[in-house]
Chains A and B, each alone.
Chain A
């Protein structure tokens, strides 16, 4: 399977715990994105990498959130001191050609904070 891969697919955590999600983009894609989707809403942009450089961050990305892409390949999204409002699907996407801004999503990581 050469699509965007995310792990874990589901995570249940207690409030206050830290969680980390991993994303492996399509292999030749140099751009990687994180989005968040809550029930009844469309995906919302969180952050974007070109290779290993984090070029844009949404105001939705509070200081409890950190994303890295250390070698320009896979990426991690960490949420510290989780809150119930963090419960959502976290979507990773990647693209190669900025022309047209077509991005390809993974299957998402569901987070439930109890």
Chain B
């Protein structure tokens, strides 16, 4: 049973527009959430994170929103750039989990010029 779900395998967006990537989770013990970006044949690169005590965290063009009651988080990229084209993974961890991150299956973002 998947504890972290990314229901959209792919997303295509025009350059300059907003990209919204979604993630749902089932485990109410999760208290920390992260987004990673991955290019082919490379390891995941950390993008942004959010603690469960917050509902929003912003870093430049990237903003993560957390809705604990809905067990849902989203990553907004504004404005989207062609270099943002990659697979984006949502991950979650529970308090005391010692770095055992639970990942979703990823969403492939394509930003078209």
A interface residues, Cβ below 8 angstroms from B = 4, 6, 31, 33, 40-45, 48, 50, 55-56, 58, 89, 91, 93, 95, 98, 100-108, 110
Contact = CB atoms under 8 A, between A and B. Distances in A.
A101 to B, nearest CB: 4
Contacts, number: 68
Interface in B29-66: 32, 34, 36, 41-46, 49, 51
Given A91-B44, A108-B43, A101 B105 contact: no
Interface residues of B, number: 25
B21 to A, nearest CB: 13
Contacts of A40: 105
B42 A108 contact: yes
Interface of B: 4, 32, 34, 36, 41-46, 49, 51, 89, 91, 93, 97-106
A42 B100 contact: no
Contacts of B93: 101
A100 B32 contact: yes
A94 B9 CA distance: 28
Nearest to A106: B43
A108 B36 CA distance: 14
Given A42-B91, A100-B49, A104-B46, A55 B101 contact: no
Contact of B103 (A4, A44, A104, A110): A44
